[in-house]
C-alpha cells in the first residue's frame, strides 16, 4: 500500500520505534494518528513533527481498555476523514527473570499490552479498513516471537501469539482489500525497559558487550518499506535475519546459542 495521502494509526507513538514510525510516515506524505498511554511523550512527538504537525492527531488511550479503544475509530474519522492502515507497535517486556520467579501480575500485564491491546485495536478497526479501496494492518512481533529467549519467556509467548494471529488474519483477508504484514525486529535502540517499568539486570564486564543495535529510525524505515511492498513478513535488523535463518535450519542449536547469551542476565 502506498502511504502518501493515506491515514495511518500508530500505537505506542510517543517514543521509540512508534515515534520514529510517526515521523517517517509524516515525512512520506501520510496523515498519522498517534496513540499512546503517555500524554507527555505524545506532545513531544507532535512538537518533533514540526511543519507536519497539522497532519498529526494525538490520542491518549490505554490500548488494554477495550471501551477506550472502541471510541477511537470515530475520533480518527472526525480528525482525518478515514482510516487506511494501522501499525500495532505498542509493547512492553517482562522483568528479566525466569518463569518460576515471574509474578502473575507481570504475566497478565505483558499479555494485556502485547496481545490483547493489539487484538482490541485490530478487531475494532477492521470493519473500517474493509471499507477502503486499499488498507493495511502491520503487527509488530519480535525476534523473540519465533526464537526462545530465557528471561523473556512470557514476552516471547505474547509476541508468538501476535505472529500466529497476524498470519491467520492474512489468510482470512486474502480476498479482500486489506493487506497484512507481521514484523520481527531484533535489537533496536529504544527505551522499552523504561516504558515497561523494569530495570536492566546488572551485567559483568565480560558479558556487558554492547549489542549492535539498529536505530529506531532505521527500524521504522524498514517497517514502512515492508508495508509499502505488501510483504507477508519482515525481519528487521541483521540479528533478526540471521537468527531467523539459523532457527529454521537448526532450532535447538539456535535456542542454545541464545540461552548462553542470556545466562549472565539470569544469575
Domain assignment present for residue 2? The answer is no
Query: Could you confirm whether 247 is annotated as catalytic?
Result: no
Domain assignment present for residue 12? The answer is yes
* Averaged pLDDT in 10-residue chunks for the chain of 267 residues: 96 97 98 98 97 97 98 97 98 95 97 98 98 98 96 97 98 98 92 55 42 87 98 97 97 96 81
Q: Parallel, antiparallel, or unpaired: how do β-strands 178-185 and 233-236 relate?
A: parallel
Query: For position 28, which CATH number holds?
Result: 3.40.50.720
DSSP β-bridge partners for residue 58 = 34
pTM over 0.95: no
Closest CA to 181 of 135, 142, 221, 233: 233
Domain assignment present for residue 197? The answer is yes
How far separated are the first and last CA of the chain, in Å rounded? 46
Domain assignment present for residue 105? The answer is yes
Domain assignment present for residue 23? The answer is yes
pLDDT of residue 264: 80
Domain count along the chain? 1
Phi, psi at 174, each rounded to 5°: -55, -40
pLDDT of residue 206: 41
Domain containing 262 equals 7-266
Task: Please pick, among 116, 155, 247, 257, the residue that the annotation labels catalytic.
Answer: 155
pLDDT of residue 5: 96
Amino acid at each position: 500500500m502506498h502511504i502518501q495521502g493515506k491515514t495511518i494509526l500508530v500505537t505506542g507513538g510517543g517514543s521509540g520505534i512508534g515515534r520514529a514510525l510517526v515521523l517517517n510516515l509524516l515525512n512520506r506524505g501520510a496523515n498519522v494518528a498517534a496513540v499512546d498511554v503517555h500524554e507527555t511523550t505524545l506532545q513531544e512527538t507532535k512538537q518533533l513533527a514540526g511543519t507536519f504537525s497539522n497532519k498529526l492527531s494525538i490520542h491518549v488511550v490505554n490500548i488494554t481498555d477495550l471501551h477506550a479503544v472502541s471510541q477511537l475509530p470515530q475520533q480518527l474519522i472526525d480528525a482525518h476523514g478515514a482510516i487506511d492502515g494501522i501499525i500495532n507497535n505498542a509493547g512492553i517486556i517482562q522483568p528479566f527473570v525466569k518463569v518460576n520467579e515471574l509474578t502473575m501480575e507481570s504475566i497478565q500485564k505483558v499479555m494485556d499490552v502485547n496481545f490483547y491491546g493489539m487484538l482490541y485495536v485490530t478487531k475494532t478497526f477492521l470493519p473500517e479498513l474493509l471499507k477502503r479501496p486499499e488498507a493495511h494492518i502491520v503487527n509488530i512481533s519480535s525476534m523473540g516471537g519465533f526464537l526462545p529467549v530465557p528471561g523473556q519467556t512470557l514476552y516471547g509467548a505474547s509476541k508468538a501469539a501476535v505472529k500466529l494471529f497476524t498470519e491467520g488474519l492474512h489468510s482470512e483477508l486474502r480476498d479482500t482489500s486489506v493487506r497484512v504484514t507481521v514484523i520481527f525486529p531484533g535489537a533496536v535502540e529504544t527505551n522499552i525497559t523504561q516504558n515497561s517499568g523494569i530495570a536492566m539486570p546488572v551485567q559483568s564486564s565480560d558479558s556487558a558487550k554492547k549489542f549492535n543495535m539498529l536505530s529506531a529510525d532505521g527500524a521504522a524505515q524498514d517497517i514502512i518499506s515492508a508495508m509499502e511492498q505488501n510483504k507477508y513478513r519482515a525481519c528487521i535488523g541483521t540479528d533478526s535475519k540471521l537468527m531467523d535463518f539459523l532457527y529454521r535450519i537448526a532450532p535447538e542449536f539456535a535456542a542454545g546459542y541464545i540461552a548462553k547469551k542470556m545466562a549472565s542476565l539470569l544469575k
